[in-house]
Amino acid sequence: MATKVKECSSNAYNLQVLATSCEVNEVLEKIGSRWKMQILHSIAHGTQQFSTLKKAFPSLSDQVLGKRLKELVEYGLINKAIVEDTVPPQTIYSATSKGTALLSIIHDLHMWGMKEWD
């Protein structure tokens, strides 16, 4: 959004370098929240219900899960669909193409991390 103020410096320095390094923060802050990428990953791999996600991450609390799901939907990384013709109605989450594209980069990051740190 053009309205968002980016409070990075500029001052007669290498603008190109700074502009680039500035925006990285925004991306990292958006995807870096705890559990977010794991949740996205799990959804993309078939864990698509609230309850199953809870089981998958026992140390993750309900409201954090709810919060993350909401953010992921807002960012357009996952879709939320409600299946009405079951009792009770089910909510199904699925990764969007945007989410899948992000995951492939996150996967590279993960591979790098494992190679360097494990």
Partner DNA sequence: CCGCATCCCTTTGGATACTG
Partner DNA sequence: CAGTATCCAAAGGGATGCGG
Minimal distance in Å, beta carbon 102 to DNA? 17
Residue 51, binding choice from DNA, a copy of itself, none, Cβ under 5 to 8 Å by partner class: DNA
Tell me which residue has tokens 């078939």. 46
Minimal distance in Å, beta carbon 27 to a copy of itself? 3
How many Cα atoms are found within 13 Å in the side-chain-facing hemisphere of 89?
7
Q: Which helix (H) or strand (E) holds 94?
A: strand 90-95
Write the single-letter amino acid at 86. T
Q: N- to C-terminal Cα distance for the chain?
A: 38
Residue 49, binding choice from a copy of itself, DNA, none, Cβ under 5 to 8 Å by partner class: DNA
Give the count of residues interacting with a copy of itself (CB under 8 A).
Answer: 50
Q: Rank residues 56 and 91 by Cβ distance to a copy of itself and give the closer one.
A: 56
